[in-house]
Structures are given as structure tokens and as C-alpha cells.
Amino acid sequence: MLIKTKIPDFTLRFATEMDVPLILQFIKELADYEKLLHEVKADESILLDSLFRRKSAEVIIGEFNDQPVAFALFFNNFSTFLGKPGIYLEDLYVNPDYRGYGFGKTMLSYLSKLTIERNCGRFEWWCLDWNVKSIDFYKSCGAEAMDEYTVYRLTGEKLKMLAQEF
């Protein structure tokens, strides 16, 4: 199902299993932009299982003139304070050749609408501190930085070490 936007010839659609190679391509392009390509471990089989078998996340593809130019990957989190789920945006990526046309803002706008339609309490994401263009873009959309929070993460061996203590 195509979702029409206010931008002529720019549509959104939810990804299908056939989009897994495209999703992986977008993930790698974003990781390369963020200087984190070396950290990408995902492959097509992992994405197929995570996105379409386990349904751990959802993906929206942005198409301009029927060509994929952007994607957003998101999933539900939960706010104990609100007592409601939220939508967490893991990745938003617009191909560099198509930036500045409003595609990213349109995708954020749609996800905001989806957050409301699904009766979620909030819409959140992270942004790298050095990515000033993205920070300025998010602020222009009305987003506020949550500077009083610090993200913590366990992965790999450190995750296994803590799990073994149980």
C-alpha cells in the first residue's frame, strides 16, 4: 500500500521481505556516513529473521518517482511513566542526492502521525553528537535533546560476562 505525501512523486510504504537487500544497502550507506561501517554485522538472513519472522522492528521505504531514496527503521519501546508504548526510531536515512527536498521531514511527520494513531506516548531517537546537520534538522522539527540522560550499552563479551553472573 502506497502512502501519498504532500511532496509530488514522493510516497511511503511499509517494507516487505523483498526489500531486505535494499534495507541492508541503506543500513550500510548510513553506517558509512556515520563512520561506523566496520560495526555492521547485519546480513540479509539476520534482517529477514528479525524484521519479518520475529517482527522486532518495522521499516518504511521512501520512494521518489518510484525509486527508493530513503528508509526509516523503528520499533516500540515503553514508558513506565506514561504507562504506554512509544515509537523508537533506530535509523532515518535519506540518500545524499535527495537531501534538502523535505523527504526526511515527511518521514518524521508520518512517524509522528503513526505514534498518535497507535496511541503511543512518545516518539524518540538518538543522534550522534558530531552530526550537527542532523541535530539542527531535528531541532527545526521541534525535537528536544534529552541532555540529562546518558546512554549505556552492553554488547559482545561484556554482555556475556554479566549474563553469566545469573
Q: Break the chain into its structural domains and give their ranges.
A: 3-164
Tens digits of per-residue pLDDT, 54-96? 999 999 999 999 999 999 999 999 999 999 999 999 999 999 9
CA 50/CA 56 separation, integer angstroms? 6
CA 73/CA 92 separation, integer angstroms? 7
CA dihedral over 117, 120, 121, 126, signed as positive or negative = negative
Is 90 exceeded by the pLDDT of residue 29?
yes
Q: Are the C-beta atoms of residues 106 and 5 closer than 8 Å to each other?
A: yes
Q: What is the mean pLDDT of residues 43-50?
A: 98
Active-site residue, from 93, 138, 149, 152: 138
* pLDDT of amino acid 1: 86
Tens digits of per-residue pLDDT, 86-145? 999 999 999 999 999 999 999 999 999 999 999 999 999 999 999 999 999 999 999 999
* pLDDT of amino acid 19: 98
Q: Residue 146 corresponds to which cell in the numbers above?
A: 534529552
Q: Look up 98 and say whether it is catalytic.
A: no
Q: Are the C-beta atoms of residues 123 and 86 closer than 8 Å to each other?
A: yes
Match domain 3-164 to its CATH number in 3.30.160.110, 3.40.630.30, 3.40.50.2300, 3.30.70.270.
Answer: 3.40.630.30
